[in-house]
Amino acid sequence: MSEEKMVSLNTIDDQLIKKAADEGIETMWDRKKAMKAPCGFGEKGVCCRICGMGPCRVSPVAGKGAQKGICGATADTIVARNFARMVAAGTASHSDHARDIAHVLHMASRDGNYQVQDEKKLIALAQEWEVPTEGRDIYDVAHEVAEIALNEFGKPFGTLRFPDRAPAPRRKIWEELNIMPRAIDREIATIMHSTHMGCTSDAESLLRLSMRTSLANGWGGSMLGTELSDIVFGTSTPRMTEANLGVLEEKQVNILLHGHDPCLSEMIVAAAQDPEMIKLTEEVGAEGINLAGMCCTGNEVTMRHGVKIAGTFYQQELAVLTGAIEAVIVDVQCIFPSLAPITDCYHTKFITTSPKAKITGATHIEFNEEKALESAKVIVREAIENYKNRKQDKVFIPQSKAQAITGYSNEAVIKQLDRVVNSNIDPQGTVKPLADVIKAGVLRGAAGIVGCNNIKTKHEYSHIEIMKKLIANDVIVVTTGCAAQAAAKAGLLSKDAIKLAGKGLQAVCELVDIPPVIHLGSCVDNTRIIRLVSAVSEHLGVDNSDLPVVGVAPEWMSEKAVAIGTYVVSSGIDVFLGITPPVTGSPEFVDLLTNKIEDMTGAKFFIDENPLTLADKILERIEEKRTKLEARLAKEIDYGVIKPEEEVEETKELA
Amino acid sequence: MNLFQTVYNGSNVALNAAEGLLKQAIKEKGKDHNVAFPDTAYSLPIIYAATGLKMATLADLEGAIGVVKSLIVEEPRLEPALNAGLATAVSAEIIEAIKYALNDAPYEAPCVGHISDATIRALGVPLVTGDIPGVAVVLGKCPDSETAGKVIKDYQSKGLLTFLVGEVIDQAIEANVKMGLELRVIPLGYDVTSVIHVVSVAIRASLIFGGVEPGNLEEHLAYTKKRVPAFVNAFGPLSELVVSAGAGAIALGFPVITDQIVTEVPTLLLTQKDFDKIPATSLEARNIKIKVTEIDIPVGFAAAFEGERVRKDN
């Protein structure tokens, strides 16, 4: 039990885990226990099973035990190949997500379920891609833009379009390293090819391939995902919400939206407001429909509609254990297959909707994008009709929730920054105020804290400890994914949290009217962060790697996180990992990630499983980058300050 | 040089100057020599507001030097930088107090130096009613007298109370700016440290009108930020000392607008090179809205009606 008490920051989680034990239900913690000690070979990345001669496992210790696989692949090759495949899988996940949204944009019509919500953003993108907009029907523009977007996945020639958005020095680095991404799917396929038996056997080459593929994610798939979602579903603006399992309602139909793709969740939100559905809700005796989001789909709908956040990745089983959920509606990514047996213990319907993610034991109601709203209503109807089956004696809704502000798209961030622009000096709509406070040192730097939950560490402890330490030291935090939801639950996304910030960040938060931790969205929305950083770099005339900016994944878990971390480092931003990736079997590859890669990109990985020392390293690195940046900017700016010799005379006069 | 380091350097310049001057004064007059500003019940108002302690002698000022030192903690953060700005204010007050201790009339016309409690009480009501919509502190040197005159007269025409420090005083005189309390233009002195006499006005407003306890520095700063609509215009090349004093102004809640290129901090430290836009920039930065007077008359009254023809039938 003592181990279970340490699972998370939330005492309510312990109560639910106890409920699971009492009811004889297996959770991830039980499975972790059953797993016993993890395999050291897999943990260190030195196990290879890519051909029929294996599986091979080589010794992580040089000069001792098997040093090579059957084919002769060394630990360096095996580790780097495994890492590259993680990057490929992560990139594939984000990109396929984006592809669906591009398809939806392509099918958008004036009277259809999917429409263009943000015309301004569409037109800006059309202009960026040189699609004529003048005098054209917005839907014709949309379809042409969508087609170009879809071609980004598999165009035969050239490189991707979005990398043009990066600062010039950064593009030059990518060109020199030959890692400018070509087509998104092509990069993923190249990795799968190069990591095939008997192909690339050079750790540095594999890392470069990983970097290029990851860039096809960050400056390709994910960026398309964010951009096109904003166009179809609207660019988010700040709004209030609530977070944690306490958002579930005793007398309402609780629908848990879990997964990633807003094409589904947006329609569920619309269906839940449909008069027909509301009438049905009354008929079953419920007081309403309560949508609650989880994981990134939760982030998408909370950003755009303020839908409440039920919880993070690790709480998906716990949410069902409340016994108060009529349906768990899922699409793709980060969905525990264990939700099938757990929901079987309750009245809860576990509904899969995507042909890309069918789960044995779940009810599969395929979501049809051609008839999106109808399709969503069928799914919501299942949930509502299930209300009467709720077993009241099994219901336990923990009374815990926190207030949060979400909805900060980059556009919304810039709008907040406009509040502090003096109209007699500067134009509105730029990142200058942010660049100014970073340059002046009022903010020491900025950190993007992102990523998952991981059973290897106490849930959310690392997220929250690091966030608190950074904001107390005048480092502004932007956050996405499950890290953002952890922040929401801990109250860090509220303006009350300003009191936890250092004086500099406090001053900024008060002037700009923002919380010290800013929710930028889902995991594809990490591209908002790299764009914001790039905008500040361009404003200051430097590269991303010159800025005191870091990325942190304190509790990362998925291959998507590996791809994200890699594109962030490739974009020139240091990445701090709170969970050690399976690479330690190759000291050479560890050296590449945590040292040599800096010579290539100006940024590197830092790995430390202790969140407190990791936070110290972040602050240290931020100051290190500041010193260099200040020296560089001081050369360019006169500052109008009298030279020291003149000062001496003035002092004499004073005395 | 980064902004905070510039502030710390300036604070140390001020500290060294205060220390040197104090040593010299003690040597000349002895430790028990009296220290006081004329016509105030608040001793050395800044030190009194910050520490709750009244300074009576040069020996007391030695203690005040300790306060200055404790306020200078050279860490790269906003909070210690603002504290160092306050340290500069305290150093300046020490320097100015010594001027009064060594000389019965350290200031002569046109400069007024220290401002009496009676004057502050007289200013209190129009400040509260918004009759004086703001307080401008114009410091340094404009490119020429004409520019100086234009900026100051602009503030004057809007009813602001303007304090002048440095060469801008002579420039204002040359530009024919009429000065005096009733005319709301007050030249303080030529030394940078004489700017402290306007800080003293803001701090005494907090003591007198705000009723804030002496020693509760945080509350005093909250009061000045909220209630005293002051801002600083620092013109001409800025010494580290001036930048440091500017940090003190920012600690009090007063934005600093300069014509020099500096590391800007939104709403707090701004560069405006166009002198025609200095007043508008400053008023916006301090969120000062000019009160428009509506005259209760039965016909429309506005500049738009100027030049209207009155025909026989009317």
Is the residue at A56 inside a domain?
Answer: no
The pTM score is 0.93
CB of A43 within 8 Å of a chain B CB? The answer is no
- Both A509 and A375 in one domain: the answer is no
pLDDT at residue number A655: 43
Query: What is the secondary structure of A257-313 as a DSSP string?
Result: EESS-HHHHHHHHHHHT-HHHHHHHHHTT-S-EEEEEEHHHHHHHHHHH--EEEE-G
pLDDT class of A644 with cuts at 50, 70, 90? very low
Chain B environment of A441 (Cβ under 8 Å): 2-4, 76-78, 81, 263
Q: pLDDT tens digit string along A351-370? A: 999 999 999 999 999 999 99
Q: Based on the fold, state whether residues A417 and A563 are members of the same structural domain.
A: yes
Which residue in chain B has the smallest CA separation from A631? B1
Residue A648: predicted pLDDT? 44
Residue from A339, A340, A341, A322 nearest A254 by CA? A322
Interchain CB distance below 8 Å, B265 and A638:
no
Q: Measured between beta carbons, which residues in chain A are less than 8 angstroms from residue B241?
A: 647, 650-651, 654
> The domain containing residue A512 runs over which residues?
406-638
| C-alpha pair distances (Å), A139 with each of A130, A133, A224, A233, B261 | 16, 10, 18, 14, 48
A623 to B76: CB separation less than 8 angstroms, yes or no:
yes
A532 has a pLDDT exceeding 90: yes
Q: Are B220 and B212 in contact (CB under 8 A)?
A: yes
In a domain, A305, yes or no: yes
**Chain A from 451 to 480: CB within 8 A of any B CB:** 473-474
Would you state the structure tokens that stand for residue A572, as one six-digit string? 């020139």
* Burial status of residue A120 (CB atoms within 10 A of its CB: 0-12, 13-18, 19 or more): exposed
Q: Which residue of A has its CA nearest to B261?
A: A639
* Neighbour count for residue B200 (Cβ, 10 Å): 25
C-alpha pair distances (Å), A443 with each of A109, A619, B69, B266:
45, 12, 25, 12
CB contact burial A30-46 (16+ within 10 A = b; e otherwise): eeeeeeeeeeebebbbb
- The Cα–Cα gap between B222 and B245 comes to 18
Digits of tens for pLDDT over chain B (314 positions)?
789 999 999 999 999 999 999 999 999 999 999 999 999 999 999 999 999 999 999 999 999 999 999 999 999 999 999 999 999 999 999 999 999 999 989 999 999 999 999 999 999 889 888 889 999 999 999 999 999 999 999 999 999 999 999 999 999 999 999 999 989 999 999 999 999 999 999 999 999 999 999 999 999 999 999 999 999 999 999 999 999 999 999 999 999 999 999 999 999 999 999 999 999 999 999 999 987 666 677 765 554 555 556 666 65
Q: What is the predicted pLDDT for the residue at B125?
A: 85
DSSP state for residue B212 in the 8-state scheme: P
Nearest to B77 among A420, A503, A654 (CB): A503
Cβ(A525)–Cβ(A226) under 8 Å?
A: yes
pLDDT digits (tens, 9 = 90+) for A266-286: 999 999 999 999 999 999 999
Model confidence pLDDT, tens digit, residues A536-572: 999 999 999 999 999 999 999 999 999 999 999 999 9
d(CA B150, CA B161): 15
For residue A618, pLDDT beyond 60: yes
- In angstroms, what separates the C-alpha of B157 from chain A's closest C-alpha? 20
CA distance A470 to chain B (A): 13
Verify that A624 and A499 share a domain, yes or no. Answer: yes
pLDDT per residue as tens digits for the range A48-92 = 999 999 999 999 888 899 999 999 999 999 999 999 999 999 999
ipTM of the complex: 0.90
CB atoms near residue A507 (< 10 Å): 24
What string of DSSP letters covers B138-188? EEE--SSHHHHHHHHHHHHHTT-EEEEESTHHHHHHHTT---BTTTTEEEE
User: Residue A418 and residue A431: Cα distance in Å, rounded?
Assistant: 9
Domain count, chain A: 3
CB B92 within 8 A of CB B45: no
How many CB atoms neighbour CB A121 within 10 A? 19
Report pLDDT for B308: 57
Residue pair A405/A519 in contact (Cβ under 8 Å)? The answer is: yes
Chain B partners within 8 Å of A420 (Cβ): 266-267
**Element holding B257 (H helix, E strand):** strand B256-258
Task: Examine the domain organization and report whether A297 and A174 are in the same domain.
Answer: no
- Domain check: are A598 and A529 in the same one? yes
Question: Are residues A442 and A367 part of one domain?
Answer: no
| A334/A427 same-domain check | no
B301: its two tokens: 């009254």
Residue A625 maps to a domain: yes
Residues A460 and A493 in one domain: yes
List residues forming the annotated binding site of A for [4Fe-4S] cluster: 39, 47-48, 51, 56, 71
C-alpha closest to that of B93 among B140, B53, B134, B127:
B53
Interface subset of A 477-506, CB within 8 angstroms of B: 502-504
C-alpha closest to that of B185 among B161, B169, B205, B167: B161
Q: How many CB pairs under 8 A join A and B?
A: 119
**Hey, what amino acid is at B115?**
I
Flag whether A23 is in a domain: no
With a CB cutoff of 8 Å and minimum separation 6, the contacts of A165 are A219, A223, A531, A534
* CB-based contact, A427 to chain B, within 8 Å: no
- Neighboring chain A residues of B272 at a CB cutoff of 8 Å: 422, 424-425
A163-206 pLDDT, tens digit each: 999 999 999 999 999 999 999 999 999 999 999 999 999 999 99
Strand A363-364 vs strand A349-352: parallel, antiparallel, or unpaired? parallel
* Interface touch B241/A424, C-beta < 8 Å: no
Last residue of a domain, one of A348, A371, A394: A394
Which chain B positions have a beta carbon within 8 Å of A437's beta carbon?
A: 265-266
Name the residue among A282, A445, A317 with its Cα closest to residue A32: A317
Taking the C-alpha atoms of residue A258 and residue A327, their distance in angstroms, rounded to an integer, is 10
pLDDT more than 70, % of chain A:
96
Beta bridge partners of A295: none
**In whole angstroms, what is the distance from residue A120 CA to residue A143 CA?**
15
Q: Which of B13, B239, B266 sits opposite A437 (nearest CB)?
A: B266
Claim to verify: residue A227 and residue A255 sit in the same structural domain: no
| Residues A3-20 pLDDT 10s | 444 677 888 899 999 999
| Chain B: closest CA distance from residue A602 (Å) | 23
Write out the two tokens for B287.
């969120």
By percentage, how much of chain A surpasses pLDDT 90?
A: 93
Residue found by looking up tokens 């800013």 in the block: A518
CATH of the domain at A210: 1.20.1270.30
Supply angle C-alpha B12, A654, B155, rounded to 5. Answer: 95
For A406-443, what is each residue's pLDDT tens digit?
999 999 999 999 999 999 999 999 999 999 999 999 99
**Tokens representing A49?**
């099973």
Looking at the domain assignment, is residue A205 inside a domain?
yes
Min Cα separation A500/chain B (Å): 14
Answer whether A651 sits within 8 Å of B193, measured CB to CB: no
Hey, CA dihedral for A202, A206, A212, A215, is it positive or negative?
negative
Mean pLDDT of A486-494: 97
The answer to whether residue A5 is domain-embedded is no
Per-residue pLDDT tens digits for A224-249: 999 999 999 999 999 999 999 999 99
Among A571, A568, A557, which residue's Cα sits nearest to residue A462?
A557
Rounded to 5 degrees, φ, ψ at A293 are -95, 155
Beta bridge partners of B238: A641
Q: Is residue A460 part of a domain?
A: yes
In this predicted structure, what is the pLDDT of residue B300? 58
A650: nearest CA partner in chain B? B239
And the tokens for A491? Answer: 């109250």
C-alpha distance from A486 to closest chain B C-alpha (Å): 28
Mean pLDDT of chain A: 95
Residue B259 to residues A440, A558, B234, B236, B264, Cα–Cα distance (Å) = 17, 52, 7, 7, 11
Q: What is the pLDDT of residue A633?
A: 85
Q: What is the pLDDT of residue B293?
A: 67
List binding-site positions of A for [Ni-4Fe-4S] cluster. 260, 296, 334, 452, 482, 523
Residue A207 shares a structural domain with residue A254? no
Question: From the annotation, which residues of A make up the binding site?
Answer: 39, 47-48, 51, 56, 71, 260, 296, 334, 452, 482, 523
Alpha helices in chain B (DSSP H): 3-29, 45-51, 58-71, 78-102, 117-129, 145-157, 168-174, 196-208, 217-227, 240-251, 278-285
Q: What angle (nearest 5°) sits at the alpha carbon of residue B183, between those of residues B181 and B184?
A: 60
CB contact under 8 A, A504 and B243: no
Q: Smallest Cβ distance to B266: which of A420, A503, A637?
A: A420
User: Is A387 in the same domain as A428?
Assistant: no
* Cβ-based neighbour number of residue A1 at 10 Å: 8
Indicate if A376 and A456 belong to the same structural domain: no
Tell me, yes or no, whether A580 lies in a domain. Answer: yes
Domain CATH number, residue A293:
3.40.50.2030
Chain B positions touching A626 (Cβ under 8 A) are 76
